[in-house]
Amino acid sequence: MVTVDRLRVRFPRAVGARADRIAWLVADRLAASPVETSLEIKRLVVPAVRVPATASDEDIAELITAAVQMRIAARGATPAR
């Protein structure tokens, strides 16, 4: 499980009212992410994630979650299998 104290996600204006829902979906997916090791990260910066204009909220959340998980793994926490 990944614990997130604060999540700040910036979206382009085109996302509009969908932004809040997508951010919640990302937080939910991260909370459900199994990890093998414990690691405290004070701040994690993830580069911009490019998504197709036709992507659903769930698709966007999945892409963002995957990008966050890759950055966490780069810091030393490995996903549980």
pLDDT value of residue 81 = 53
Q: What is the pLDDT of residues 35-80, one digit of tens each?
A: 777 778 888 889 999 998 899 999 999 999 999 988 888 877 655 5
| Cα-based distances in Å from 19 to 1, 4, 13, 38, 79 | 24, 18, 9, 29, 27
| More confident of the two residues 31 and 25 | 25
Residues in the chain: 81
3-state helix, strand and coil shares in percent for the chain, rounded to the nearest 5 = 45, 0, 55
8, pLDDT greater than 70: yes
pLDDT value of residue 24 = 94
Q: Span 27-32, mean pLDDT?
A: 91
